[in-house]
Amino acid sequence: MLPRIDHVIEKVKLYNPSSDDKLLQRAYLFSAMAHEGQTRYSGEPYLVHPIAVADILAELKADDVALVAGLLHDVVEDNHSVSLSEIKKRFGDEVAHIVEGLTKIEEKLPGGERNEWATLRKVILAMVDDIRVILVKLADRLHNLRTMDALPQEKRPAKAKETLEIYAPIAYRLGLGKMKTELEDLSFRYGFPEDYARLTSALSAKRTYSEGFLEETRATLEKILAELQVKGEVRGRTKHLYSIFQKLQRQAIAVEQVYDYMAFRILVEEVRDCYAVLGGIHTLWKPIPGRFKDFIAIPKDNHYRSLHTSVVGSNGQPFEIQIRTWQMHAEAENGIAAHWKYKEGRLTKEDEEATIAWLRQLDEIRQGSQDSAEFVQNLRVNLFPKEVYVFTPKGTVMSFPHGATPIDFAYAVHTEIGHKCTGAKINGKLVPLKTKLNSGDRVEIVTSPGGKPSRDWLDCVVTSRAISKIKGWLNQQEKLRAIEIGKASLDRECRRLKVHLKEAQEAGRVADLLKKLALADLDVLYAEIGYGKVAARTIARRLVADQETIPAALVEAHMEPSKGAPIIVRGASDLLTTLAKCCKPIRGDEIVGFISRGKGLVVHRATCKNLQRLSYNPDRILEVAWEPVSENAPALHDVPVTLHTEDRSGMVASVTKVVSDHKAGIRHIEGVLTGGGEGRIKLVLAVRDKAHLSQILRQLSRLAGVIEVRRDIR
């Protein structure tokens, strides 16, 4: 259904009863006449577009001048029979000024292409005089993105990129949170269609889990509100796509590793409720240090106010919570509408001085810029104050995100310079590699042939390029190590089974086996052994000359981890896994994986105290599960257990009997008298799983003389 001007006018009347609907009707008719016979890429009548733009402006609670300018924003450009002076005559100076600011410039580049930057420069400059110029421009861009399906494919990426670089940041600066989010998600979808498809499908795979989690957590949060007797609303959501994508890029991680992609928002009536609710949340869940932000006490540059905190939920899942009043929420979504009083297009409220100062800066940039290209370059710098600009020794300017170090710089120059980097000079002085770069620094990298990346570097780089190159190098090293380990253990097993690897190779048995296992070459097989994915023993047995003696079932065996822990890791099957020594998880325990430096993936019990500390690093947490148990799984889990007993003779003997009755093992046993006629028996049991352990502990607790039985954990 085509949008109708009546609907727009109705909407406007709701927030501005004194709006001049005759004026809006007149602008609509004028626009209809000017665009007569024109169609959009979609084949729809062109008029659909200006009405949709006016509708978006009405959502932003724009005044009549902005609405009229929205209806007329394309008439001069698309229909050369309409002149600016005619607009001025019919609709006044202000409308004409806005329409002029939005009309594209026909300036051509030396190559003959239209100079898009010149147009952009003009829009920004007109905005300095009248903020409504950019409001109309943003509404225009938003509608064009919403209808981008109709635009030829090859035209999409440039629009998307420009939106992400210029318009979304402007929307952000103006406090138009909702507009910024939609601009970003649409630009992401059309500018990076492959990444978009990958991310949406990965997230929809997580949906069942997410929905359950959102529901459950929302219920808990509502309970907190009820207990505090605070009236409020809890909203749970998946964070917007582009912000998740940026996080993936920034940290160079796979989508499976993004844990805090869910967020909650709590809307309350009073400022004091915000802090009360925050206290309730921090009492229930552990806050992640450094993630609590009080934007109520200290609002952001764009006046955004809210409390933010990230906590670790009961299942180890970190998530973000924003707490704000309804008023703050309205301001965050639609800054101008909720907050700004604008008169003749200029901001008047005193507390908007920061924004005015920002607009003035734009004007200064204009005065200091030689041409449009330079202006746009300078504008980018201004829109992203978080970037630093540094010089190479040859004087080339390079830009980095705030917080970048010489290592980021080295990798940006060349991968090998990154790998071989051993030191850095900033402005001629030697500095530590973790020194943060500042704008204007001249950076020089010192390399040495023996230099190599270190895992610690990951803590002091911020660019995705450096992160992925360092991770790539480390993975390569880990693979080389796995090959070495794998080769050594296969050699050992072969010696044990008296298999001559050379002979087996010459007889083609190695090649046959590789083919059956679908492995490219012997190194890959070594690596599989080294990573613990396949047992050296299994391989050695399959290389025995007489293959007929090997049961077919062993062909499947290579997928089962025989080294390391019996754990399935989602999305990172190549990791070496071990069970944490602190909490000693056993099959059946709820578990969480944590990527430990140099140790691969360490699996902890979900309740482990250490893990709670480690959860401050949510990006290193992986979802893991026990492998399905096989019928004759060996009793392989060691569990420390302590018995508090009376001092009786035969106590240790009756304990060992219970254990052996249950076909469990005893790795260690030690009894001490603690005085007062009591004693303690410390045991290390070898059990199949949690159920097995529980049976044994139950039996032990029923023994005469046993006071207390407990599984030792931190």
Closest-CA residue to 335 (of 127, 522, 541, 172): 172
Q: How many CB atoms lie within 10 A of CB 357?
A: 9
Chain centroid to Cα 623, Å, comes to 16
**C-alpha 73: how far from chain center:** 38
On whether the CB atoms of residues 23 and 64 are closer than 8 A, the answer is yes
Which residue numbers are catalytic?
77-78
User: Smallest distance from the beta carbon of 47 to Mn ion, in angstroms?
Assistant: 12
**Least distance to Mn ion from the beta carbon of 51, Å?**
11
Nearest CA among 661, 658, 641 for reference residue 704: 658
Cα distances (angstroms) measured from residue 323 to each of 25, 218, 268, 281, 326: 42, 13, 8, 11, 10
Two structure tokens written together for 705: 């003389």
CB 706 within 8 A of CB 637: no
CB of 21 to Mn ion, least distance (A): 23
What the block records as the tokens of 461 is 């780089």
Mapped onto helix, strand or coil, the DSSP state of residue 63 is coil
What's 463's DSSP letter?
Answer: -
Q: Toward Mn ion, which CB reaches closer, 74 or 441?
A: 74
Whichever of 75 and 693 has its CB closer to Mn ion, that residue is: 75
Residues binding Mn ion: number (CB under 5 A): 2
CB under 5 A: which stretch of 133-141, 373-381, 386-394, 575-583 binds Mn ion?
133-141
Which phi-psi region, left, alpha or beta, contains residue 428 (left: φ > 0; alpha: ψ -120 to 50)?
left
For Mn ion, give the closer residue by CB, 140 or 528: 140
Amino acid at 645: T
Which are the contacts of 175, defined by CB distance < 8 A and separation ≥ 6? 302, 303, 304, 331, 332, 334, 335, 336, 339
Binding Mn ion (rule: CB under 5 A), the pick from 63, 94, 130, 140 is: 140
Report DSSP state, residue 534. S
Query: What's the min distance (Å) between Cβ of 140 and Mn ion?
Result: 4
Binding mask 55-84 for Mn ion (x = CB under 5 A): -------------------x----------
* Nearest distance from C-beta of residue 227 to Mn ion, angstroms: 51
Least distance between Mn ion and beta carbon 57 (Å): 12
Residue nearest to Mn ion (CB): 140
Measure Cα distances from 273 to 166, 235, 649 in Å: 37, 16, 63
Instruction: Kindly state the DSSP code that residue 164 receives in the 8-state scheme.
Output: I
Given the complex with Mn ion, which of 76 and 244 has the nearer CB atom? 76
**Where would I find the beta strands (DSSP E) of 297-341?**
307-312, 318-325
> Which CB atom, from 47 or from 288, has the smaller least distance to Mn ion?
47
Q: Is 322 exposed, middle or buried (0-12, 13-18, 19+ CB in 10 A)?
A: buried
123 vs 535 by CB, closer to Mn ion: 123
Smallest gap from residue 145 Cβ to Mn ion (A): 11
User: Based on CB atoms, which residue is closest to Mn ion, 74 or 444?
Assistant: 74
Binding site for Mn ion (CB under 5 A): 74, 140
